[in-house]
Structure 1
Amino acid sequence: MEGHKIKTKSKFKVRHQKHKLFRANEPLLSVLMWGVNFTIHELDNVNIPVMLLPEHFKANVKIRIDNQNFNKEVMPSHFKVKEYCPLVFRAFREYWKVHDGSFRDSLTEPPIPMNETTKSSLPLYQSCDRRFVLKCITKEDVEQIHNILPEYHRYIVETQGDTLLPHYYALYRLTVDDKENYILVMRNVLSTKYKIHYKYDVKGSTVDRRATDKEKLNPCPTLKDIDFVESKRTIDLGPEQKKIFMERLKRDVKFLVSQHKMDYSLLIGIHDLDQGGVERDLTVSGGDMNTSDLSAYESSDDSDNPTQIGEDCSFDEPFMLRNSDRSTRRELYSLGLIDILTYYGMKKKSAHVAKTKLSGSDADGISTVRPEIYARRFLDFIDKQFI
C-alpha cells in the first residue's frame, strides 16, 4: 500500500485523545511536544520523493484537537497544529543527518526557556539536550521563510551543507487559546557540550551596539560589537583556517545579499579550555561524545570538522572551530550566522533615512543600510577581528 501524500491544501482532521500526554510548564510547549510527536509519526506513512517539487514548498499538514477530557493543567483541551513544508524540512534534517527519531526525542521532552528574547520580544527556548533552538517568530518572518525557502534549499544542496547559515529543521504554527504562535526549530550554533564562557552578537555596526547594564547581569551575557572591540579580543584561527572560514562566510553573505537580506549577525561563543566545564553528561548514547572523545577532541588539530560517530550526526558540532596552535589561549569557537530573515524593503529603507537623520551619521555606523553596504561593512569587521 502506498503511503499518504501531503497535500498543498489539507482539511483539518479531528483526532481523539491519545493515552500519552506531554507535560510542560507552559501550554504552548505541551502542544509543541504533542505536535512534533504527531507530525514525525505522520511522516512514517508518507512517500519520500526522490526530488522536491514546487508544490512541496507550499504544502502543509494541519491537525485540530477538540477533546474536553484533557487535563487542562497539562494540555489545553482545544488546540491546532500546523506544520509547514514538512517534506522540505525533513530533507534538511536528512541532509544534516539529524534523524527523525532523534529529532522527535529531543523535542518531546520539555524545552528549556532561554534568558534572551528575539528582536520582537518573543521568547526563545532550547531543546532539553541543547541541540536545537526553538525560536518564536512573527507571521512576517514566516512569510520571509517561504520566500527564500526554494533558494535556501538550492544553496544548501550546492554547498553540500558547508555553510554558516542557520540550519532550519522545522516550522510550526500552534494555535492555543485562539492565539497563533509560530515556532522555528533550528540548530543551536553554540556548543551543546562545552560551557560557553563568552558570547558576542556582532553586526559590524557601532550605533547602539553595546550590551545594556541589565543584559550584563546575565551569567553569560550576549555582548555586542562595541563590547567586543573594547575587550580587545581577537578570534585566533590562524592563517589557513581563517582563509577557509572567510571564504565560507563571504559565500554565505553573497547569498543573503542576493535575497535582499540585512541586519543579520555572527554569533560567537567562546569556550576557554583552561576554565573547562561541560553543559551536560557526555556519556549519553546515540552519537554523542564520551569523556575519552572529549580528550581526543581537545587535542585534535582537526576539531573544526564534525565528529562522525555512527549514522546520526545530531550531536556533532558543525559550527565549532579550534583556535590556532600559535595562540597563547586554548579556546574553542562556536561561529554561525543568525537572524537572516530581515528583508530590505520600503520599511527598512524608511528606517535608514530616519536613523541617518537622527544620528547625524552616515551609513558607516547605523545598522539599517542597503544589503550590499551592510554585507561589506559586516565582512570588513569580521576580517579585522579574526586573525
Structure 2
Amino acid sequence: MEKKISSTSQPRILKKKHFRVKHQKVKLFRANEPILSVFMWGINHTINELSHVNIPVMLLPDDFRAYSKIKVDNHLFNKENMPSHFKVKEYCPLVFRNLRERFGVDDVDYRESLTRSQPIQIDSSGKSGAQFYQSYDRFFIIKSLTSEEIERMHAFLKQYHPYVVERHGKTLLPQYLGMYRITVESVQYYFVVMRNVFSSHLTIHKKFDLKGSTVDREASEKELEKNLPTFKDNDFIKQKVKLDIGKEAKNKLMNTLSNDVDLLTRLHIMDYSLLVGVHDCVRAEEEALQGDNILTAGRSENSESEECDSGERWTYNTPPDSPRGAQYKEVVYEVDIYDIPSIEEKREIYFIAIIDVLTQYGVKKQAAKAAKTVKYGSNVDGISTCDPEQYAKRFLDFMDKAIE
C-alpha cells in the first residue's frame, strides 16, 4: 500500500529575500591634487590615533625626536579620490599636540578645519618658492618646507616649545601646530601647519611685510598689480603709515616683540618680518552699504556684523554648518593676540605677527651680506642681510617708530 505524502511534508518554496548590503561609511578626502587628498587623510588619521594616547605630565627630550609613520597600500581606493600607495609621517606628535593646547586649538576643530573640505592654494610669490594653502575656513595656513627646513624646525622646536610654555602662548611668533611628511609615488613633500594671522572674518584692506631695512624694500610692479599687494618698508614710510594703538597697548606690544626677538637673536636667526594687516572700519562700512544696496532682499537677522569700534569686540555669528559651531567665537577671540584695535579716532584694526623665523645667519647669509656691502656700500642699516644682533636692533627701532 502506497503511503500518501501529506501536503505539509512537501518541501516549501521559500520566497527570495532581497538583502541590502550595508557598506561601512568611509570619509572621502577629495581634492584636485593627490598630495592634498593624502594630506587630509593623514591629518584625520594622526588626530584619531592621538586621541588614544595618554597626555604626559611633561614632555621628554625623546618627544622632540619622535614621529609616527604609516604606509598605505590599498588598491580599493578610488584613484580619482586617493592614490593607492602613499606614506604619512607626523613629526613630534606629542610636542605639537601640546602646542595646539597652549594656543587654544582643539584637536577636533583642527581636524575638521583641515579635512572637511580641501585646503585652497593661495598666493606664493615669495622668494623662498614655498607653496601656501589655507584651510577652507581660513583658520590655518599650510606651508611647504624643504628637508633642510624640517631639520631647522626640529632644532627650533627645542627652544620654541619651552618659550611658548613660559609665555603662556602669548607670543607673536608663528603658531606652529603640526609638521608632516607626505610621500606619493616616491616623491616626498614636507608641510607645516600654522595659525593664519588673517583668519578673522574682517577684510584686510592693506598689507605690509616689514623688516626695518630700506635697500630693495618696496613692492614690485608685478606685486602692485594684485588686488591686495604686499607693501614693504619703503612703501610704509612713503605712505606715512602709523599704527595708532595708544601708549598702553604699544608698551604691551613692544614688550612682546622684544621678548620674541630676543629668542630669535639667541638662536642666531635673522631675516624675519613683521606681517601687518590693516582693516579699515570706515571703508568696511562703505563696502557693507554698497552690498546692502545690491542685495536688499532675503537678508538674515543672524548675518555677520563688522562692528569694530576701537576697544570693543565685534560680533561674529558662526554659520550653522561651521565645524566649530558655537565654540568658534571662543576659539578665535579668547586666545587671539594677533588683532589689536587702533585708538578710537583712527577706527582701524591691525593684525600683527612675526613670520619667516627659520633663517639662520650662516655662511650663505654672511656671503650675501658681503656681496650687498660691495654693491650698496657699508650702510648696514639699509641692507636686510646683517648679523642677528644688528638685525634685531634695527627691527625693533623701526617698529618703535611705526607704532604710536
TM-score class normalised by the smaller sequence: 0.7 to 0.9
1:230-272 deviations in whole A, cap 9, x for unaligned?
1111111111111111111111101110111000000000001
Q: Is the partner of 2:124 in helix, strand or coil?
A: strand
Tell me which residue corresponds to 2:390. Answer: 373
Separation in structure 2 between the aligned mates of residue 293 and residue 154 of structure 1, nearest angstrom: 38
Q: Is the partner of 1:98 in helix, strand or coil?
A: coil
Whether 2:95 is the aligned partner of 1:88: answer: yes
Separation in structure 2 between the aligned mates of residue 255 and residue 241 of structure 1, nearest angstrom: 22
Alignment of 1:97-246 (within 5 A): 97-108=104-115, 109-246=117-254
The TM-score normalised by the length of structure 1 is: 0.86
After superposition, the CA RMSD in angstroms is 2.1
Tell me which residue corresponds to 2:319. Answer: none
Aligned residues: 352
Separation in structure 1 between the aligned mates of residue 218 and residue 76 of structure 2, nearest angstrom: 50
Deviation at 1:48, TM superposition (A): 1.2
1:93-134 deviations in whole A, cap 9, x for unaligned?
111221110000000021111122443212101111111111
Separation in structure 2 between the aligned mates of residue 35 and residue 292 of structure 1, nearest angstrom: 33
Alignment of 1:1-387 (within 5 A): 19-108=26-115, 109-276=117-284, 295=307, 298-299=308-309, 301=311, 303=313, 310=327, 313-316=330-333, 317-325=336-344, 327=345, 329-387=346-404
Separation in structure 1 between the aligned mates of residue 215 and residue 73 of structure 2, nearest angstrom: 50
Deviates more, 1:232-241 or 1:260-269: 232-241
Separation in structure 1 between the aligned mates of residue 194 and residue 129 of structure 2, nearest angstrom: 18
Separation in structure 1 between the aligned mates of residue 55 and residue 312 of structure 2, nearest angstrom: 35
Separation in structure 2 between the aligned mates of residue 209 and residue 41 of structure 1, nearest angstrom: 45
Tell me which residue corresponds to 1:8. Answer: none
Q: Which has the larger radius of gyration?
A: 2
1:202-255 deviations in whole A, cap 9, x for unaligned?
001111111111111111111111111111111111111111111111111011
Contact 1:172/1:183, CA 8 A, preserved across alignment: yes
1:12-54 deviations in whole A, cap 9, x for unaligned?
xxxxx99322001111111110000000000011111010010
User: Does the C-alpha gap of structure 1 residues 72 and 310 become closer, same or farther in structure 2, counting only changes over 3 Å?
Assistant: closer
User: Does the C-alpha gap of structure 1 residues 241 and 339 become closer, same or farther in structure 2, counting only changes over 3 Å?
Assistant: same
User: Does the C-alpha gap of structure 1 residues 261 and 194 become closer, same or farther in structure 2, counting only changes over 3 Å?
Assistant: same
Tell me which residue corresponds to 2:297. Answer: none
User: Does the C-alpha gap of structure 1 residues 46 and 118 become closer, same or farther in structure 2, counting only changes over 3 Å?
Assistant: farther
User: Does the C-alpha gap of structure 1 residues 64 and 86 become closer, same or farther in structure 2, counting only changes over 3 Å?
Assistant: same
Percent identity reads 50
User: Does the C-alpha gap of structure 1 residues 301 and 41 become closer, same or farther in structure 2, counting only changes over 3 Å?
Assistant: same
Contact 1:198/1:270, CA 8 A, preserved across alignment: yes
1:246-301 deviations in whole A, cap 9, x for unaligned?
111111101110111000000000001112169xxxxxxxxxxx768754xx2362
The TM-score normalised by the length of structure 2 is: 0.83
User: Does the C-alpha gap of structure 1 residues 204 and 303 become closer, same or farther in structure 2, counting only changes over 3 Å?
Assistant: farther
| One-letter amino acid of the counterpart of residue 127, structure 1 | S
Q: Is the partner of 2:58 in helix, strand or coil?
A: coil
